[in-house]
A and B are shown apart, each in its own frame.
Chain A
Amino acid sequence: MFQYEKKLQYPVRIKTPNPKYAQIIISQYGGPDGELGASLRYLSQRFSMPFAELKGLLTDIGTEELGHLEMIGAIVYQLTRNLSPEEIKKSGFDTYFVDHTTGVYPVAASGMPFTATYLQSKGDVITDLHEDLAAEQKARTTYDNILRLVDDPDVRDPIKFLREREIVHYQRFGEGLRLTTDRLNEKNFYAFNPSFDKQCLNRQQAQNRAKS
């Protein structure tokens, strides 16, 4: 189960609203490499993870991503406070405003609504961990691009925090992948799918134990 903590992982305090920034940053809410996709990816993939370390890692990182989703929602919310119709028209935020007013909706900066096609849950630990490593780098690039477009230090500060988290998660997933391959056939990591071919995994683990 999940239980809510009434606090952000890192503070968001934006003094000056800016609907243009909101329209860019919303991509990390519901866009192709955003936090919603990240949390759904890890929290879905974890069910078929074959080792305790990976069940823990995907649960923990997936949960942290929900906290990041909340931070992005808070950034968008604070950037769209007290706007006048003129500001909305001038900034180009009008195309979002017409459908959602200033409600926070999972959508990419391009206007494409969130879709589960942004993520995969393949039931194969090597495949899934490679997807996760790539996802962290794609999110890191998106945050780099946001930092290229946004000047306000109040907005940059939490974005920089989120960017750093992608790098830490990439590191942890890399370690998860190493823990996995250490337990497989060292001559052919793809000899079987340890999430599905349980008998092969048990046999391999017995062999690895006998060797060491």
Chain B
Amino acid sequence: MLTERSKALQCLSSLQFILWELHLYLDTHQDDCEAMARHKKYTEEYTAMRADFEEKYGPLSAATGSGCAWLANPWPWDTEECVK
């Protein structure tokens, strides 16, 4: 059974993956306006979803948190079940 945090992280990661695929594609297709527009649209969605996630579950990057919030388990290689 996935925890609420795992489910939320999975949604966020899926959206981030779409963005990343578009980003790589745009490296070799910088004139593709449709892909660029899609990238912009998903960036907005991702930014909002990420802010929600971090508010609820703590920072995902060293730039957005320090100390106990940053150090809190789980770390990415731990499944949440094995930390508990």
Q: How far is the CA of A11 from the CA of B10 in the complex (A)?
A: 8
Taking the complex as formed, is B13 at the interface, i.e. its CB lies under 8 A from any CB of chain A? yes
Q: How far is the CA of A70 from the CA of B59 in the complex (A)?
A: 19
A6 touches B28 (CB 8 A): no
B28 touches A7 (CB 8 A): no
Contacts known (A5-B61, A11-B13, A74-B76); A57 close to B20, Cβ less than 8 A: no
Q: Number of A-B pairs whose CB atoms are under 8 Å?
A: 68
B27 touches A10 (CB 8 A): no
Give chain B's interface residues, CB within 8 Å of chain A. 6, 9-10, 12-13, 17, 20-21, 23-25, 27-30, 59-63, 70, 75-77, 79, 82
Give chain A's interface residues, CB within 8 Å of chain B. 3-14, 53, 56-57, 60-61, 64, 70, 73-74, 77-78, 81, 168, 172, 175-176, 179
B82 touches A81 (CB 8 A): yes
A177's closest neighbor in chain B, by CB?
B28
Name B's interface SS: helix
Which residues of the other chain, A, contact B25 by a CB distance below 8 angstroms? 172
Most buried by A among B12, B17, B28, B60: B28
Q: How far is the CA of A168 from the CA of B27 in the complex (A)?
A: 13
Q: How far is the CA of A66 from the CA of B19 in the complex (A)?
A: 18
Q: Which of B27, B59, B62 contacts A57 (CB 8 A)?
A: B27
Interchain nearest-CB distance for B64 vs A (Å): 10
A3 touches B62 (CB 8 A): yes
B60 touches A6 (CB 8 A): yes
Which residues of the other chain, B, contact A61 by a CB distance below 8 angstroms? 24
B21 touches A168 (CB 8 A): yes
